[in-house]
Amino acid sequence: MLKKELTLLNVYCIATGTTLSAGFFLLPGIAFNEAGPAVILSYLIAAIPLVPAMFSIVELATAMPRAGGAYYFLDRSMGPFLGTIGGLGTWLALVLKTAFALIGMGAYLSIFWPEVPIVTLATALAVLFGIINLFGAKKTGTLQVLMVFALLLILLAFISQGVSGIDYQHFEGFFDKGGVSIISTAGLVYISYVGITNIASVAEEVKNPERNLPLGVFLAIGTAIIIYAVGTTIMVGVLPAEELARDLTPVASASYVLFGKWGQIGITVAAVIAFASVANAGILSASRYPLAMSRDHLIPGRFSRLTPRNIPHYGIAVTVGLIIFLVLNFDIASIAKLASAFQLLMFTLICLAVVVMRESRIEAYDPGFRSPLYPWMQIFGVFAPLWLIAEMGLVPILFSLALFTIGTIWYFSYAREKVVRSGAIYHLFARLGEYRFEGLDRELRGILKEKGVREEDPFDEVVTRAKVMEFTKVHPFEDIAREVSIQLDHSLGVGAKELEQRFLEGSRIGATPISHGAALPHIRLPEIAKAEMVLVRTKEQCFVEALDFSGKTSLQGPIHAFFFLVSPNENPGQHLRILAQIAGRVDDEDFIKDWLDATNDQELKEILLRDERFFSLTIRSNTASSALIGHSLRDIRMPEGCLVALIRRKGETIVPRGLTVLMEGDRLTIIGDAQGIGQLINEYS
């Protein structure tokens, strides 16, 4: 598994850096030649079909943060056939965009070294950024942050000065090129925005993806739209039409008019930084597609191999090689149109993937962000890109069809016999009485385990108020389930017999997760208001009759830990996340030893609590905690969001109240948010 090293700042800078490059520094002149002054409208129109695609890809990425981005989403939603086509196509579109950026970078560098061919510079730069990517996502992401902030500072200066230098006579004949030219140019410049969603391909390496992915992407798209709209207005308003129409370095030319020679040099530096950031992030993103497809056996296995530092070196090598081939053999306008066309097609499929995932009603599909205006947002997102492709001309259409054909041939000749899974679409079919692939549900539950619970989930509260039961003698699982059901009946008011039958039925049909000496019997009920749990420790070995992987019923164990969870019916996602959090702790090597060594209820519960969300404090004299002695809990200042959940006093665990007075020797279990817990650790440790 790839390391989670990318922060919100990294996400924003990768998305922004892959957007503010060729679309701003290279394309405006080419686009102006097609649409005239209305090129400004073309840039704004191009952003419209991106919106549903952006919402859709963020939803999918927060539900399934895995390397491969669009490929992974299409594969898991509509099956490996479309996954193969989408993976190969999106990878190639990313490669085309990166090649386009390197040519632009070469064009701006040729201002300093006019004697060196642009293609030679672009080829050397492809090799350089390939080497940088071999150092890993964290170092690549850090470089991206530095480049993007330098770029934004220079662009801010360009826009601030440029607004006052606009000649509004340059906008006469705004619509002379006609509506068709404006729309077809929107398709051409669409490549300017696609970097926004490329971050999904490195979602597996993002810390807290449910927060950082949506926030980073939305901030990046806002930045891009503002800079494109204002920047292209300045270029049209500053440069004569005949000069802009044939200019491959329009921002540098506009800067020369506004600032003189030093201004041109400054903006050229910004352009080089922009192209460097898109090339750097483009290779980073594109190289994850071969990795993801190889993991799923759709391309040869060597692409899934990682270096000792978890770098997909084969993916980087083949990506750089293809970039060099494209740089040497294609002109920039062709590269831009081809990349835009297939990216538009992929975004159509991405919007369709959201519909499939939602309508499949897989409970483990649990995105941290849900697209608004469903399904109308996705319906628009399916048809708007197809319309833009049709307006772009015959070559992009033929290119998209050719890629679709190549992907089809590859799947049926190589990949079909190597995969044994299907997508969420078969869960949709299951609702109509046909197929279903249980492996996808298991995979999504595994992703839930990695993501953990959300900030708003009451996991710590459920654990701290859980009842603890201990069985010192040999008891069959049926007896344990009966005793637990009686205990839960007292707190939930649900019939003990019904609870017992539901727990036993869950184990017999294979719905009870069992591993590493622990079992997680769980049910959901419509008539309860909040989740409740009972923790059970068995000193003697216990075995549970359950389905194994072959589908046969057998005794599984030995088991020493049971976590009986009952949750409200209306929140299946939260129920699964709580289960996944417990399962993640159970998977730790030291779990069962810690569980059996715990001396009381409080220690058992602390084994499950998240390290950054709880603090165990024993009050002793001659320490900072001595100041708490003799004070009631309601009189003690606690960081916001923190509370004392349990007190261990003289061999007994008590649930504290506001009037509870603290005594020397009390051991407090305090839960709260990570920041508040950090303050307590600094104050009392």
Whichever domain contains 395, its CATH number is 1.20.1740.10
| Structure tokens, 30 | 């080419």
Residue 183 and residue 200: Cα distance in Å, rounded?
A: 27
413 and 529 together in one domain: no
Quick one: 542 exposed, middle or buried, by C-beta within 10 A (0-12, 13-18, 19+)? buried
State the pLDDT at residue 469: 92
The residue from 417, 443, 477 where one domain ends is 417
Residue 547 and residue 109: Cα distance in Å, rounded?
A: 65
In 3D, which of 215, 216, 219, 207 has the Cα closest to residue 11?
Answer: 216
| Structure tokens, 44 | 């704004």
Residue 284 and residue 132: Cα distance in Å, rounded?
A: 9
Sign of CA dihedral 312, 279, 396, 120: negative
Give residues with Cβ within 8 angstroms of 267, minimum separation 6: 154, 158, 251, 252, 254, 255, 259
212 and 101 together in one domain: yes
CA 516 to chain centre: 29
DSSP class per residue in 206-271: BSSHHHHHHHHHHHHHHHHHHHHHHHHHHHHHHS-HHHHTT-S-HHHHHHHHHH-HHHHHHHHHHH
Residue 376 has pLDDT above 90, yes or no: yes
Residue 231 and residue 243: Cα distance in Å, rounded?
A: 17
140 and 159 together in one domain: yes
469 and 572 together in one domain: yes
Confidence category of residue 195, pLDDT binned at 50, 70, 90: low
State the pLDDT at residue 334: 65
Angle, helices 50-63/70-78, rounded to nearest 10 degrees: 80
Whichever domain contains 632, its CATH number is 3.30.70.1450
Instruction: Note whether residue 385 is domain-resident.
Output: yes
How many CB atoms within 10 Å of residue 97? 31
Instruction: Note whether residue 2 is domain-resident.
Output: no
Instruction: Note whether residue 680 is domain-resident.
Output: yes
Q: How far is CA 283 from CA 235, 308, 344, 444, 565, in A?
A: 29, 20, 20, 27, 45
Instruction: Note whether residue 646 is domain-resident.
Output: yes
Residue 677 and residue 647: Cα distance in Å, rounded?
A: 17
State the pLDDT at residue 537: 92
State the pLDDT at residue 161: 84
Residue 177 and residue 172: Cα distance in Å, rounded?
A: 12
301 and 378 together in one domain: yes
- The DSSP element (H or E) to which 437 belongs, if any, is none
Instruction: For residue 501, give the 3-state DSSP assignment.
Output: helix
22 and 95 together in one domain: yes
Q: What is the pLDDT of residues 530-557, one digit of tens each?
A: 888 999 999 888 888 766 555 566 777 7
168 and 38 together in one domain: yes
| pLDDT, average across residues 426-431 | 46
**What is the distance in angstroms between the CA of the first residue and the CA of the last residue of the chain?**
35
Q: How far is CA 290 from CA 209, 283, 303, 316, in A?
A: 22, 12, 6, 9
Instruction: Note whether residue 160 is domain-resident.
Output: yes
255 and 400 together in one domain: yes
Instruction: Note whether residue 192 is domain-resident.
Output: yes
Residue 426 has pLDDT above 70, yes or no: no
Q: How far is CA 545 from CA 476, 552, 554, 559, in A?
A: 10, 10, 5, 12
How many CB atoms within 10 Å of residue 347? 28
Percent of the chain with pLDDT over 70: 86
Confidence category of residue 447, pLDDT binned at 50, 70, 90: low
Q: What is the residue range of 624's domain?
A: 611-684
Residue 361 and residue 160: Cα distance in Å, rounded?
A: 50
Judged by average pLDDT, the poorest of 25-29, 290-294, 429-433 is: 429-433
Backbone angles phi, psi at 544, to 5 degrees: -120, 135
192 and 147 together in one domain: yes
In 3D, which of 650, 651, 644 has the Cα closest to residue 684?
Answer: 644
Whichever domain contains 499, its CATH number is 3.40.930.10
Amino acid identity at 358: R
Amino acid identity at 609: L
| pLDDT, average across residues 251-266 | 84
The mean predicted confidence, pLDDT, of the chain is 79
State the pLDDT at residue 425: 45
Give residues with Cβ within 8 angstroms of 7, minimum separation 6: 141, 207, 212
Instruction: Note whether residue 446 is domain-resident.
Output: no
Confidence category of residue 451, pLDDT binned at 50, 70, 90: low
498 and 621 together in one domain: no
State the pLDDT at residue 433: 44
Q: What is the pLDDT of residues 600-615, one digit of tens each?
A: 888 888 888 877 788 8
Instruction: Note whether residue 73 is domain-resident.
Output: yes
564 and 616 together in one domain: no
Confidence category of residue 67, pLDDT binned at 50, 70, 90: low
> How many domains, in total, are found in the chain?
3
Q: What is the pLDDT of residues 276-286, one digit of tens each?
A: 777 776 777 67
Residue environment code for 35-57, b if the CB has 16+ CB neighbours within 10 A, otherwise e: bbbbbbbbbebbbebbbbbbbbb
The residue from 573, 608, 643 where one domain ends is 608
Task: Look up the pTM and report it.
Answer: 0.65
Give residues with Cβ within 8 angstroms of 527, minimum separation 6: 494
Q: What is the pLDDT of residues 602-656, one digit of tens each?
A: 888 888 887 778 888 899 988 888 888 888 888 888 888 788 888 888 888 888 8
Rg of the chain's alpha carbons, rounded to an integer?
Answer: 29
| Structure tokens, 94 | 């990313």
185 and 292 together in one domain: yes
